[in-house]
């Protein structure tokens, strides 16, 4: 758990003071993109409008959110391909049988809107209460509703980091081109190509985004489980035909194969930490010097946030943006100007 929440605040204060003594004379970062993961799922129900509203009110620069699509091809904000019984109650307010979870793509928007996805904490050990709270009655929002919310804050310049959820190994949702086009249609409806980036673990998604509108920024998500090739001739299904080992076996080697359609590198934070067992061979500075913005996920411990700031990342995605913002304030680091 993050060191701030909540009873250890005194220890945290002395911890920060000791760190500041070491770095105050050599601070390299003045701006950082503070991204709330699924809003702020350590504090509020994930991917909900009220959760997003309260996350914006904390002072973040970017909302990170997930997109799946309904049977009637409406992009909605949800992480899973199936209704998650740990997150939602059924139309009667009862628990959902885990064996009968409904595929999102088999449901219309009207059917999806019947679920209550604000009353449950999906994992109280991982997201203790407090600080987390439930917000009963929260529905699964559409992407349209998120842009309506953003428009309530015209002076805040809130950025949206939109993840398109697509599994190249299973047919769980709309065909890839239809899915991407529906998301871009919403973005353009709000004339908002200049305040979003689209990210995905499936790098084919990013190539389609760029071929549809080259002005939209894209972020290549990467985890250790999605990078490894199946064998010496078959690449990972997630990397759009790029063979990790055969291209050089580093993060930069695969990014350069995808440089036509990837602007931002968004890895599991362990992949960019030189002393970590799954480090992929390129430092944050090397990646940035080759033209990539570096924004790792999902960092909930303040000591790791500090390490990544020392590595000079461009942003941090966290379930606890309040912790990140407090740390940034103590280090005199300002929010990225969108």
The span from the CA of 177 to the CA of 124, in Å, is: 38
Position 182 in a domain: yes
The span from the CA of 309 to the CA of 332, in Å, is: 12
CB-CB contact of 216 with 210 (8 Å): yes
Query: Model confidence over 253-283: pLDDT tens digits?
Result: 999 999 999 999 999 999 999 999 999 999 9
* Window from 10-14, 119-123, 188-192 with minimum mean pLDDT: 10-14
Position 113 in a domain: yes
The span from the CA of 80 to the CA of 58, in Å, is: 26
CA 217 to chain CA mean position, Å: 15
Position 2 in a domain: no
pLDDT on residue 91: 87
Q: How many domains does the chain have?
A: 1
Residue 82 belongs to domain spanning: 9-335
Position 1 in a domain: no
Position 331 in a domain: yes
Query: Model confidence over 122-179: pLDDT tens digits?
Result: 999 999 999 999 999 999 999 999 999 999 999 999 999 999 999 999 999 999 999 9
Residue 253: CATH number of its domain: 3.20.20.190
Position 3 in a domain: no
Determine the average pLDDT of the residues in 36-47: 98
Q: What is the pTM of this model?
A: 0.92
Position 4 in a domain: no
Q: For 263, how many CA atoms within 13 A lie in the half-sphere containing its CB?
A: 12
Position 15 in a domain: yes
């Amino acid at each position: 758990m993050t060191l701030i929440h909540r009873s250890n605040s005194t220890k945290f204060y002395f911890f920060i003071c000791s760190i500041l003594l070491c770095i105050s004379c050599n601070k390299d970062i003045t701006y950082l993109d503070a991204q709330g993961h699924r809003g702020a799922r350590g504090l509020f129900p994930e991917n909900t409008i009220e959760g997003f509203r309260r996350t914006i009110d904390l002072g973040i620069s970017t909302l990170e959110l997930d997109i799946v699509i309904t049977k009637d091809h409406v992009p909605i904000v949800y992480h899973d391909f199936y209704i998650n019984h740990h997150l939602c109650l059924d139309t009667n307010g009862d628990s959902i049988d885990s064996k009968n979870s409904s595929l999102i793509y088999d449901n219309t928007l009207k059917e999806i809107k019947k679920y209550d996805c604000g009353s449950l904490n999906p994992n109280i050990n991982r997201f203790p209460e407090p600080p987390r709270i439930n917000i009963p009655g929260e529905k699964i929002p559409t992407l349209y509703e998120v842009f309506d919310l953003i428009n309530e804050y015209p002076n805040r310049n809130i950025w949206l980091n939109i993840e398109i959820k697509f599994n190249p190994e299973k047919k769980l949702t709309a065909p890839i081109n239809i899915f991407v086009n529906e998301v871009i249609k919403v973005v353009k409806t709000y004339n908002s190509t200049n305040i979003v980036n689209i990210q995905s673990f499936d790098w084919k998604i990013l190539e389609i985004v760029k071929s549809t509108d080259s002005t939209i920024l894209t972020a290549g998500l990467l985890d250790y489980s999605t990078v490894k090739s199946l064998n010496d001739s078959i690449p990972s299904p997630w990397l759009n035909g790029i063979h990790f080992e055969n291209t050089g076996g580093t993060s930069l080697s695969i990014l350069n194969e995808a440089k036509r359609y990837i602007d931002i590198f968004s890895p599991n934070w362990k992949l960019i930490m030189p002393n970590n067992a799954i480090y992929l061979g390129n430092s944050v500075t090397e990646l940035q010097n080759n033209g990539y913005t570096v924004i790792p996920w999902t960092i909930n411990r303040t000591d790791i946030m500090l390490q990544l700031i020392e590595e000079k990342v461009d942003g941090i995605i966290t379930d606890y943006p309040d912790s990140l913002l407090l740390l940034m304030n103590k280090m005199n680091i300002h929010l990225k100007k969108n």
